[in-house]
Amino acid sequence: MNNLKSTIETNSIKLLIWDFDGVIFDLDWNYQSTPAEFLTLLYEEINRIDNSIIKDKDEFIARLFPYPEMNEVGIKHGKEVQARVKSLYEAKESAALHRAVPNQQVIDFIRVSELPQSIWSNNLSSTIRQLLREAGIDEKIDQIASFEKVLLSKPHIEGFKIIKDAYPEIDLKNMLLVGDSLRSDKVAAENTGINFYYYKKQ
């Protein structure tokens, strides 16, 4: 975590924004069903809603990243229709959290940091809060921009607005997003104009 400390100091960071799954905890997405089986269910539901959204079923499943298509359902058909897809995701996550593994290195960092800290995640706030409480760091996280609070998931910037509105006094150049995904977190940071730190678990 020394490189993260250096990034914070070099960029005069005043707000830490964490991704959740893959950074603070690792959820077990293989529990009860494989990711491919789950994504097949998502594909079938999205296809029932609008068969023009997913162009290539095999690519959609192999990519392991359904958020662009889920966002498109929301944009084209609205929140109520999108909820049909999101409910499948929420059920899968509810199973995955029961075998979540804490990343003690990051948890310890969060515990001792004196900076304001928030989470911007494509996970559910109920999942996040439950696991933060179990880790004893719930009180260290101020804001959570989570899956159920937005129509459009990362890398779209909708979730970031929840956090930005809570810290109007902090400039974008003094915010840092810590994430493990180059196609979600890094792109989201670029889209919002904040700093990004690529976290790769050792």
Strand partners, 25: 21, 102
> Is 121 found in the same domain as 93?
no
State the Cα–Cα distance between residues 91 and 108, nearest whole angstrom: 29
pLDDT of residue 144: 98
> Is 133 found in the same domain as 161?
yes
CATH code where residue 120 lies: 3.40.50.1000
pLDDT of residue 1: 87
- How large a percentage of the chain has pLDDT more than 90? 95
Question: 65: domain range?
Answer: 35-97
State the Cα–Cα distance between residues 202 and 193, nearest whole angstrom: 27
> Is 189 found in the same domain as 90?
no
> Is 137 found in the same domain as 84?
no
> Is 118 found in the same domain as 47?
no
> Is 186 found in the same domain as 131?
yes
Instruction: Name, in order, each residue with C-beta under 8 angstroms of 176's C-beta and a sequence gap of 6 or more.
Output: 7, 8, 11, 13, 15, 16, 17, 194, 195, 196, 197
Interval 55-72: pLDDT, tens: 999 999 999 999 999 999
Tell me: pLDDT of 202 over 80: no
State the Cα–Cα distance between residues 14 and 191, nearest whole angstrom: 19
Tell me: pLDDT of 50 over 90: yes
pLDDT of residue 131: 98
> How much is the average pLDDT of 164-193?
97
Tell me: pLDDT of 8 over 80: yes
> Is 122 found in the same domain as 52?
no
Specify the number of domains making up the chain. Answer: 2
> Is 170 found in the same domain as 111?
yes
- How large a percentage of the chain has pLDDT more than 70? 100
> Is 110 found in the same domain as 67?
no
pLDDT of residue 116: 98
- Cβ(137)–Cβ(102) below 8 Å: no
> Is 133 found in the same domain as 57?
no
Interval 94-112: pLDDT, tens: 999 889 999 999 999 999 9
> Is 177 found in the same domain as 113?
yes
